Amino acid sequence: MRGVPYALEGSFPHTRFTVRGPALNYHSMSADNLRDTQAELRKLYDELCALGLSLDITRGKPAPDQLDLSNGLLGLPGEDDYLDAAGTDTRNYGGIAGLKELREIFGELLGVDAANLIAFGNSSLTLMHDVTVAALLHGTPDSERPWAKEDTVKFLCPAPGYDRHFAITESFGIEMITVPMNPDGPDVAAITELVAADPSIKGLWVVPTYSNPTGVTFSADVTKALLAVPAAAADFRIYWDNAYAVHTLVEAPPVPHPVLEWAAEAGHPNRVYVLGSTSKITFAGAGVAFFGSSADNLAWFTKHLGISTIGPDKVNQLRHVRFFGDADGVRAHMAKHRELLAPKFALVLDILDDRLGDAKVADWSHPEGGYFINLDVLDGAAKRTIELAKNAGIALTAAGSTYPYKQDPRDHNIRLAPTYPGIDDLRTAMEGVATCVLLAATETLLTTHTD
Amino acid sequence: MRGVPYALEGSFPHTRFTVRGPALNYHSMSADNLRDTQAELRKLYDELCALGLSLDITRGKPAPDQLDLSNGLLGLPGEDDYLDAAGTDTRNYGGIAGLKELREIFGELLGVDAANLIAFGNSSLTLMHDVTVAALLHGTPDSERPWAKEDTVKFLCPAPGYDRHFAITESFGIEMITVPMNPDGPDVAAITELVAADPSIKGLWVVPTYSNPTGVTFSADVTKALLAVPAAAADFRIYWDNAYAVHTLVEAPPVPHPVLEWAAEAGHPNRVYVLGSTSKITFAGAGVAFFGSSADNLAWFTKHLGISTIGPDKVNQLRHVRFFGDADGVRAHMAKHRELLAPKFALVLDILDDRLGDAKVADWSHPEGGYFINLDVLDGAAKRTIELAKNAGIALTAAGSTYPYKQDPRDHNIRLAPTYPGIDDLRTAMEGVATCVLLAATETLLTTHTD
């Protein structure tokens, strides 16, 4: 990723004017008008390509200035500091549940009692993977047999969703069923019908706060409904990946739903796995991760985990305890992330609004947190948009990535990740993306135009 | 673990004299003489019990003074230090193979080219577990199908061996076959016969340097033979757990055998997985771990690993690079461990020799490195010895632990772990153990005595 001359930005206002023309809404344009618009866009696109860009907005990675916020960790805990609050030597083996004081801090932020939370490893993705492996090879406490012994295992996948979730299930040959996302969470009616009828449906992937990529935060009603759904499989599990629980772009994040309590009240105490990590709070890869569930599930999972490990990196856990102090320390830290991220999200939304607002060939999310902006282009135009961007040196998340098997049935969804690039690169990239969206839209519309 | 009055030590010399008596070798004693000896030992044992000890020599854990050697790590890499030699920001996602400079340091110590080694996670046990899971659920590059789809999968287990190895295979229902350990490595003839005949034998657990618990270091001949064995299963794998590669108690550790090269020369390039970690070099749990293998195996394993993780904790890897500098830095560090450990091993051996030398009711190893002393008592006396010690407040590794399924067929093997206790506690514990060995021996001998 490198900077480009500011001159590029200067060229856009003129072009925007040209593109807008008399018929602002592409759907109302005559074929001739569309062709003229396309010719203008093509010129603009050629200029874009001539810049020889190499920009990347594919992944939800923290930017270097965000990572700098946690540089204090690099010297912690310090040479004489290695005992936790209980007096345990964090430098030695053991303690598979992780440091209690760390679990208390993040339990508060995840809405999970510290007693129901373990702190383990550097990646919640790994915990999701490993709890699935344990179910496949051993069965959950509620399974009749190991999932690997079932003819078929299926997971429900609200989509657009998180590609790495889908990659886990796909890697194990678990059949994925797409269910729609609504503005308040996944489609409960669709889910209810499916899980009530089919005992082979064992799981549901969700990102309940500032969802990847839609930005949707699940309402209490949807959450309670998901926890209460009568499932044909006693071992139906909700992977409650609360990756963005504290990653707000507004004043404060939503209060986390007490899902373990609600699940127990609904008569399904073992239904939920709560996941989280500090990958996008401190350092991605050098953070700490969390798994929360019922006592039964924790006993089961740590039993199997204990076969593969003698314990987590407790020194890194202590490092995080020292760095944050308490949950308010994390909240204060997230406010600094927000200061860095909010302008980037605002910039992307401004450009989308400016460039695409009138043409009516795209919709996009206005997230209050998380790492993504969800961009829906015309049906059939996503792959082409991404291809055009790629040829202009702008890498977007691969087409279809937000759907199971990387198959977006409408070929319309694009995940934008504004966090990593610097603000100038981001502006350049997004102006370019807007051009590609418009150009692809003219192609799509002209294909079917009945002028 | 707590200290006990030094008075205990003072009581032993007298008792030793009593116990030795006129007939030093228990096997030559008359039944009467044995009964007298037993009565003396019983008195001594009662005194031991009266001390109300709570000592633990069960696990191979580093002692606090050993951990202190690495306290420099606790402040590293330091606030402004986060770029690796290639300029990669270790604070962000990615780089599943781990830091090249770290792989170079430990590649040299493990006898593996850095290109064939990944640095991942904090536990080689986890890597062994995960590579087995990948074989179970996906099959290795040489497998006809995932191991989980086979009717039977078997592993060969040289024993006495490492209980956590056996726990992994047991947890997956992999059938374990015990093979004998010889002074130069596992019994190659037995292994050859088994793997040539049975395609369901997919693995062999070994600890090739200062083996757990026997202290055996594999000779070049045995190593080459293992790599060359004609196996009925194309996907037969040797788990080369070189946990103690640098953990020497003498001047220098053995030069590691270049097992990947030798395996390739033998026509079995994918046969070996080399494992190692710094758990007993720096901090147990907060160290770094390594997996070495052929290019094919690495591509296969990292592909599956990449489903569950976006990368290792690179900051911790950088921390270790800064701490050691190079392989000589590790060697110098291990010399400091040796200074702390050698007196403990010497003490245990002295006590065993003093107390058990003449009775001829036990044999033990004289390891040049590693974490254990292997104690073989009379057949049928190990459980009883461990029970006696337990009732006197001295925890020994559970009976049978060094054998598959925790079943020592001769009930004779006890693993002593001298590293963790302080020297006074260790002396107390070992004097107590010696008493228990002798007392149990008298019981065993009297049961079958034909006087």
Residues in chain B with CB shorter than 8 Å from the CB of A279 are 93, 310
CB B137 within 8 A of CB B148: yes
CA angle (A118, B302, A124) in 5-degree steps: 20
C-alpha separations of B78 from A316, B75, B90, B91, B323 in Å: 14, 6, 13, 13, 11
**Across the interface, do A78 and B74 touch by the CB < 8 Å criterion?**
yes
**Across the interface, do B79 and A90 touch by the CB < 8 Å criterion?**
no
CB-based contact (8 Å) between B77 and chain A?
yes
CB-based contact (8 Å) between B169 and chain A?
no
Interatomic CA distance for residues B313 and A284, integer angstroms:
8
ipTM above 0.85, yes or no: yes
Q: What DSSP line would sit under B199-240, residue for residue? A: TTEEEEEE--SS-TTT-----HHHHHHHHH---SSTT-EEEE
Task: Read off the pLDDT of residues A236-255 as tens digits, 9 standing for 90 and up.
Answer: 999 999 999 999 999 999 99
Q: Closest approach of chain A CAs to the CA of B241, in angstroms? A: 14
Instruction: Return the minimum-mean-pLDDT range out of A20-29, A222-231, A431-440, B157-166.
Output: A20-29
Angle subtended by helix axes A423-448 and A382-391, to nearest 10:
130
Quick one: tokens of B246?
Answer: 């640098």
CB-based contact (8 Å) between A183 and chain B?
no
CB A322 within 8 A of CB A76: yes
Residues in chain B with CB shorter than 8 Å from the CB of A61 are 92-93
- Quickly state the pLDDT bin for A60 (edges 50, 70, 90): very high
CA atoms within 13 Å, Cβ hemisphere of A193: 5
CB B37 within 8 A of CB B359: no
**Across the interface, do B313 and A313 touch by the CB < 8 Å criterion?**
yes
- Please name which of A194, A122, A34 lies closest in space to residue B309, comparing C-alpha atoms: A122
Q: Is B3 helix (H, G, I), strand (E, B) or coil?
A: coil
The pLDDT of residue A86 is above 50: yes
Q: Closest approach of chain A CAs to the CA of B70, in angstroms? A: 9
Per-residue pLDDT for chain B (451 aa), expressed as one digit of tens each?
222 222 233 334 333 334 444 458 999 999 999 999 999 999 999 999 999 999 999 989 999 999 999 999 999 999 999 999 999 999 999 999 999 999 999 999 999 999 999 999 999 999 999 999 999 999 999 999 999 999 999 999 999 999 999 999 999 999 999 999 999 999 999 999 999 999 999 999 999 999 999 999 999 999 999 999 999 999 999 999 999 999 999 999 999 999 999 999 999 999 999 999 999 999 999 999 999 999 999 999 999 999 999 999 999 999 999 999 999 999 999 999 999 999 999 999 999 999 999 999 999 999 999 999 999 999 999 999 999 999 999 999 999 999 999 999 999 999 999 999 999 999 999 999 999 999 999 999 999 887 6
pTM of the model: 0.94
Quick one: tokens of A26?
Answer: 């592409």
Q: Which of A280, A281, A307 should one mutate to test binding to chain B, selecting the residue with the greatest count of B CBs within 10 A?
A: A307
CB-based contact (8 Å) between B71 and chain A?
yes
CB-based contact (8 Å) between A87 and chain B?
no
In order of their start, the domains of chain A are 6-65+332-448 (3.90.1150.10), 87-325 (3.40.640.10)
Give me the count of residues in chain B: 451
CB A12 within 8 A of CB A436: no
CA angle (B208, B224, B242) in 5-degree steps: 20
CA angle (B304, B307, B141) in 5-degree steps: 15
Q: Closest approach of chain B CAs to the CA of A310, in angstroms? A: 7
CB-based contact (8 Å) between B322 and chain A?
no
Task: Read off the pLDDT of residues B54-111 as tens digits, 9 standing for 90 and up.
Answer: 999 998 999 999 999 999 999 999 999 999 999 999 999 999 999 999 999 999 999 9
- Please name which of A399, A381, A380 lies closest in space to residue A390, comparing C-alpha atoms: A399
Task: Among A92, A121, A133, select the one facing B284 at the smallest CB separation.
Answer: A92
Q: How many CB atoms lie within 10 A of CB A221?
A: 11
Q: Which of B166, B174, B277, B308 should one mutate to test binding to chain A, selecting the residue with the greatest count of A CBs within 10 A?
A: B308
Task: Read off the pLDDT of residues A276-320 as tens digits, 9 standing for 90 and up.
Answer: 999 999 999 999 999 999 999 999 999 999 999 999 999 999 999
CB-based contact (8 Å) between A56 and chain B?
no
Q: Closest approach of chain A CAs to the CA of B332, in angstroms? A: 20
Q: Which residues in chain B (113-142) have CB-CB distances under 8 A to chain A?
A: 121-123, 125-126, 129-130, 133, 136-138
pLDDT at A448: 84
